[in-house]
Chain A
Amino acid sequence: MTRSASTPGAKPSASQALLAPSRWRAWEVVAWLALVASPFVATQHAALINEVAILALFALSLDLILGYAGIVSLGHAAFFGLGAYVAALFAKHVMPDPLVGLLLATVSAGALGALTSPMIVRGTDLTRLMVTMGVALVLMELANKFDSLTGGADGLQGVVMGPLLGRFEFDLGAQVASIYSLTVLLLAFVVLRRVVHSPLGVSMQALRDNRLRLSAIGLSVNGRLAAVYTAGAALAGAAGALLAQTTGFASLDVLDFHRSADVMLALVIGGTGWLWGGLVGAVVFKVMHDLLSAITPQYWTFWLGAFLVLLMLVGRERLFRPRRWFGARRQGGGQ
């Protein structure tokens, strides 16, 4: 699928120009090969790779709704947490097979997304921020309330996962776990890559940029919003399920506000509106977290905050493209 750049001078036809962004670039293939190879090469960092892959999947799901459909959400942890709890409870009480649990968690998080999607089609950005955050907080209070089921603040203990595909046991070194998470991430990435370049994906971006025009050309705005929100929720549920399955643990922490904030930060660091944003952001965020908390374990949030303030003040575009520091004109209106 890799394609070299079209010969200079020759004008690409309209259909070629439209299809160009959907083709796999050489660097993407290389990056993916490196990612998939990483658990085999850096075996001692497998646990970290696993965490990065999960955060990347989570960020990818947020990118779908925020970067492509323009729905702001401060409560994406609701779906992550639901996925985690469903996967953990299913493994504990019904069946320890990870793949079935993953599927079930994805479907139930998607169902919650579909259920809550009418809430996000109305109002302003502020309303959406509040409602999404409210949903996550409500779920957290519920999980806290029904602590006989969820284990409450102590977490859900005693989740024993079965071997993956009936053969590969989850080991302490997390190698199997990281490969598992990376595979799911790769699958999600490939599917999303198809989706965002499909007519549905293009109409989503049109929706983000101008709702009025989209409805004027006869497309259903609310239907599309609901569809993309459901898809994002399902993916987030899958990420949560991966976390619960690979750590064998779920606690109130998976629904906490800081989850929603972290994933938002990761995505914003990587850049919204392109699929690699979630992946790059997750890697940068986790590595930054690791390095900073090695220096100041307790106060690393200070530097995270400082980085965020700087990023927002200067603008992502300008911060990461140093040649634009000189003589670059100011961009109005941000992204």
Chain B
Amino acid sequence: MLTLLFDGVAYGMLLFVLSLGLAVTMGLMNFINLAHGAFAMAGGYILVLLMQRAGWPFLACLPVAFLVTALIGAVLERTLYRPMYGKPHLDQVLFSIGLSFMAVAAVDFTLGSQQQNVQLPAWLQHRFEFGTGAWMLGMGAYRLFIVAVCVVLALGLQTLLSRTRFGSRLRAAVDDPRVAAGLGIPVNQVFLVTFAVGSGLAGLGGALGADLLGLDPSFPVKYMVYFLIVCAVGGTSSITGPLVAALLLGVADVFGKYYVPKLGAFIVYVLMIAILLWRPQGLFTREGRR
């Protein structure tokens, strides 16, 4: 019972980190980026390739996954994404679906369609157990590690957005790009950095979760729905919203798949529809959104 809860929390935290970049581009920059899963997949493959082919340790691969994906994100933002900012949402959706189709086929072509395995280091394969019976709590070190990383990231980002100069510049640029530009804020650069960091976070999440979520070329399509659910349910105006939504989703999914495995993700979808009917803008919203 508690073990399940913990697994759900770990899963939710992972989803949170994965969706955070999407929440930022969607909520702050008003761009629906369905290719977000492709960035996560890129991170996962970077980790796998570095570990398998170059023999790098797990921990060293994580920052690299972040940096390389952020770089890819920055290049794409500069070349492809920027012209799409002002377009209608449907155009953005189709554009980014096209991008993720390309990513899926490209990875399939270069690396094959088989599932990639990650060799976790020994210190992440431990398992701690407390208590007995129905209230036994078993925590895998890997999941514990995920939770720890995600908590640190969440706190760091919250501080970054609400306390630093960059955060206030970003919020200003989002609220009104023209006025912000008039005040001398380099709007394009702020967006570029934000997009890169968002993609990097997706890459980091993909690398972290490569073992838990499984990694194959269909990754972007398979998990895109989950990322979108997190953002739609949580609302995209703050970090708290996606966090709560991701935790809720993670716990509901793990419980659902454990107790009624045949229904699969049914519970999650019904929950999402119910929440969206109740609060169409998501659980947490800022007043007076456009």
Residues of chain A lying within 8 A (CB to CB) of residue B98 = 304-309, 311-312
Residues of chain A lying within 8 A (CB to CB) of residue B273 = 119, 131, 134-135, 138
A137–B266 CA distance with the chains assembled, in angstroms:
8
Q: Which of B105-113, B122-130, B153-161 contacts its partner? A: B105-113
Chain B residue with minimal CB distance to A312?
B95
Q: Which residues in chain A, 299-335, are within 8 Å of chain B measured between CB atoms? A: 299-302, 304-309, 311-313, 332-335
Residues of chain B lying within 8 A (CB to CB) of residue A335 = 88, 91
Q: Which of A11-19, A121-129, A175-183, A214-222 contacts its partner? A: A121-129
Given A301-B104, A305-B98, A308-B97 in contact, is the A127-B276 Cβ separation under 8 Å? Answer: yes
Contact in complex: B108, A298 (CB < 8 Å): yes
Contact in complex: A141, B108 (CB < 8 Å): no
Chain B residue with minimal CB distance to A335?
B88
Contact in complex: A130, B95 (CB < 8 Å): no
Contact in complex: A137, B109 (CB < 8 Å): no
User: A113-151: contact bitstring with B at CB < 8 Å (1 yes, 0 no)?
Assistant: 000000100111111011101110110011011000000
Residues of chain A lying within 8 A (CB to CB) of residue B104 = 301
A318 to chain B: closest CB distance in Å?
A: 12
Contact in complex: A127, B281 (CB < 8 Å): yes
Residues of chain A lying within 8 A (CB to CB) of residue B246 = none
Q: How many residues of B contact A (CB 8 A)?
A: 46
Residues of chain A lying within 8 A (CB to CB) of residue B231 = 126
Contact in complex: B26, A333 (CB < 8 Å): no
A312–B102 CA distance with the chains assembled, in angstroms:
14
B270 within 8 A of A: yes
Contact in complex: B221, A304 (CB < 8 Å): no
Contact in complex: A264, B101 (CB < 8 Å): no
User: B83-101: contact bitstring with A at CB < 8 Å (1 yes, 0 no)?
Assistant: 1101111111111011111
A265 within 8 A of B: yes
A241 to chain B: closest CB distance in Å?
A: 25
A35 within 8 A of B: no
Given A308-B98, A309-B80, A313-B95 in contact, is the A125-B90 Cβ separation under 8 Å? Answer: yes
Given A309-B102, A312-B94, A313-B95 in contact, is the A126-B32 Cβ separation under 8 Å? Answer: yes
A127–B283 CA distance with the chains assembled, in angstroms:
12
B228 within 8 A of A: yes
User: B265-290: contact bitstring with A at CB < 8 Å (1 yes, 0 no)?
Assistant: 11001101100110011000000000
A130 to chain B: closest CB distance in Å?
A: 4
A79–B185 CA distance with the chains assembled, in angstroms:
48
Contact in complex: B265, A124 (CB < 8 Å): no
B133 to chain A: closest CB distance in Å?
A: 31
A309–B96 CA distance with the chains assembled, in angstroms:
7
B183 to chain A: closest CB distance in Å?
A: 24
B57 within 8 A of A: no
Given A72-B89, A126-B32, A309-B98 in contact, is the A138-B106 Cβ separation under 8 Å? Answer: no
Given A123-B281, A301-B104 in contact, is the A309-B266 Cβ separation under 8 Å? Answer: no
B94 to chain A: closest CB distance in Å?
A: 6
A228 within 8 A of B: no
A261 within 8 A of B: yes
Given A119-B273, A265-B94, A308-B98 in contact, is the A137-B225 Cβ separation under 8 Å? Answer: yes
B229 within 8 A of A: yes
Contact in complex: B109, A312 (CB < 8 Å): no
A74 within 8 A of B: yes
Residues of chain B lying within 8 A (CB to CB) of residue A306 = 98, 102
Q: Which residues in chain A, 252-293, are within 8 Å of chain B measured between CB atoms? A: 257, 261, 264-265, 268
Contact in complex: B281, A313 (CB < 8 Å): no
B41 to chain A: closest CB distance in Å?
A: 14
Residues of chain B lying within 8 A (CB to CB) of residue A261 = 97
Contact in complex: B272, A299 (CB < 8 Å): no
A209 to chain B: closest CB distance in Å?
A: 13
Contact in complex: A333, B221 (CB < 8 Å): no
A121–B222 CA distance with the chains assembled, in angstroms:
28
B22 to chain A: closest CB distance in Å?
A: 11
Residues of chain A lying within 8 A (CB to CB) of residue B26 = 126
B4 to chain A: closest CB distance in Å?
A: 20
A320 to chain B: closest CB distance in Å?
A: 15
Q: Tell me which of A138, A306, A307 has the highest count of chain B C-beta atoms within 10 A of its own C-beta.
A: A138
B262 within 8 A of A: yes
**Residues of chain B whose beta carbon lies under 8 Å from any beta carbon of chain A:** 26, 32, 80, 83-84, 86-95, 97-106, 108-109, 221, 225, 228-229, 231-232, 262-266, 269-270, 272-273, 276-277, 280-281
Q: A130-B232, A131-B273, A138-B273 are in contact. List 4 more A-B contacts (CB 8 A).
A: A126-B89, A302-B102, A304-B101, A312-B98
16 cross-chain CB contacts under 8 A: A72-B93, A119-B277, A122-B277, A133-B225, A134-B229, A141-B266, A144-B264, A145-B262, A257-B225, A298-B108, A298-B109, A299-B108, A306-B102, A309-B102, A313-B84, A333-B88
**Residues of chain A whose beta carbon lies under 8 Å from any beta carbon of chain B:** 66, 72, 74, 119, 122-127, 129-131, 133-135, 137-138, 141-142, 144-145, 257, 261, 264-265, 268, 298-302, 304-309, 311-313, 332-335
7 shortest interchain CB distances as A-B pairs: A123-B280, A308-B98, A305-B101, A302-B105, A305-B102, A312-B95, A141-B266
